[in-house]
Copies of this chain bind each other. A is one copy, B any other.
Amino acid sequence: MKYQNIPQKSASPLADQQHLNLLQQDICLPAVILKHSALLHNLQWMQNFADTSGVLLAPHGKTSMTPWLFQQQLAAGAWGITVATSYQAQVAVQAGGRRLILANQLVGKANMAVIAALLASGNEIYVCIDNIDNASALSDFFSAENLCLPVLIELGVPGGRCGCRTNQQAVELAQQLATLPGLSLAGIEFYEGVIKSTDTARTVRQFVQQAAALAKALFRQQLLQYPRALISGAGSVWYDIVAAELKKATLPDTMQIVLRPGCYISHDLGIYQQAQQQVLARSNTACRLDGNLQNALELAAYVQSLPEPGLAVLGFGKRDAAFDAGLPQAIAIYRNGQLLSDKLSQCETSKVMDQHAFWRYDNTVQPQVGDIVLLGTSHPCLTFDKWRSLWLADDNYNLLQSLETCF
C-alpha cells in the first residue's frame, strides 16, 4: 500500500490500485460523487429543451466551477458559459469557453484588467451594467486599452437585486452609453429568480414581457450597437416561462435569446427538484422531452459514532455540503459493499456542525460504525464549492475519474 504524496480531501491512498469503488472504502470519505449517467442525461435534457424552444443556452458556470463539466456543456451544444465574476471568466476561458456572459456588474481595476485580457485574446464577453458611474469607469478603462466592451443593460425588479428598476431608467442609461467610446450596448440581461409575489409565476411572466418590451424599444431607437444583440434571462427555476415569453414577444430577428440555468447539470433532491416539478406542471415543451432531470450529485459519509439509541453521527458537515436550503438527507446505506436499505425517508439529518452531522434513524435500520451513507443534497452550488475535486462514478459507484473544481 503506497501513500499518495499530494493530499486531497477525498483522495485514495491506494495509489497502485487501478479500480476504485466508493462502496469498498477505497477513497477517503466524506466525498462527493457525480453520477455519469445522470449527468449525461441532464446535459442532453436541457440542451434539448433549449433547442426545442428555439433559444440558446449559456449554462451558469458558477454552479459547478468544474472545467470538465463546462467542456461537456459546450460539447452538448451550449452557445456559451455564464459566469458571476472575473475569476470565473478566466476559468471558463481556460476550459475552452470562447463566449461568456458575465451576469454581473464588473467593478474595480483588477477585475476589469482580467476581463480586458480575455477580451484582447479574442473571446466574446458580455458584461452587465446598471449604473452610469460604473459605465464611465468601464469605458475609461477599456478605451485606454483600445478595447470596446460589449455590455448588457440589467433590468431588475423593485426589492430585487441589481438592475435598473424601470424601462425608462434603462433607456436613459442606454442613451448615455451611446456616448461612451469603450462600451458597446449589446442587449438586455435580467434575472427573474429574485421575484417573490403572491402569484410569482404571473409576476415572472410580466417581468419577462417588460424585458422584451425594453429590448424592442432599444432596438427601435437604434441604441443596440452590437451586430447581434442578446436578451438573456433565466435561472433553473423559471427557464420555461422565460423561454416561452421571449419567443412570444416577436423580438427583432437579429436578437438572440440566451437562457442561463446552472443547477440542472447536477440537479438535486431539494429546492431544484421541487422547482423542476413546477416546470413540468407548466411546460408542455418540458413534458414532451425524454424523461426528466435526475439527481446526479451524492454525498458519501461514514457512520462515525453511535452514541445514543436512534442517533448516528455521520462524518460530514458544513465543510462538505450545502446547508442553506435543507440539510443533506440519506438515500441509501451500505455495509461491506452491500445495500442495507434505501428506504430511509423516515430517518432525518437533524443538524450539521462544521465536520459532523446528526442522523436520527428509526428501527427499520440498524447502522454500525463504518457503514457508508449516501445522501442527496439541496442547492448544488453550495455543495460543489466545498470540494477541490469530485469523483465521477458509474451507477455501481465505480470511480471513473477525479474532476477538478476551480472555486
Contact = CB atoms under 8 A, between A and B. Distances in A.
A308 interface: yes
Interface string A351-381: 0011110100000000011101000000001
A57 interface: no
A284 to B, nearest CB: 31
A369 B407 contact: no
Chain B CB within 10 Å — which of A8, A28, A84 has the most? A28
A72 interface: no
Interface string A207-227: 000000000000000000000
B370 A84 contact: no
Interface in A308-328: 308, 313, 315, 318-319, 323-324
B307 A84 contact: no
A268 to B, nearest CB: 14
Interface in A70-94: 84-87, 90-91, 94
Interface of A: 1, 3, 7-14, 24-29, 62, 84-87, 90-91, 94, 104-105, 107-111, 113-114, 116-117, 130-131, 133-134, 137, 145, 154, 156, 158-165, 302-308, 313, 315, 318-319, 323-324, 353-356, 358, 368-370, 372, 381-382, 385-386, 388, 406-407
Given A62-B354, A353-B161, A407-B319, A307 B130 contact: yes
A107 B303 contact: yes
A318 B382 contact: yes
Nearest to A110: B28
A305 B385 contact: no
B131 A305 contact: yes
Given A28-B114, A108-B28, A318-B382, A307 B369 contact: no
Contact of A370 (B108, B110, B145, B159): B108
A110 B7 contact: no
| 9 A-B pairs with the lowest CB-CB distances in the bound complex, closest first | A3-B117, A7-B90, A162-B305, A13-B113, A25-B109, A107-B302, A84-B355, A134-B369, A28-B110
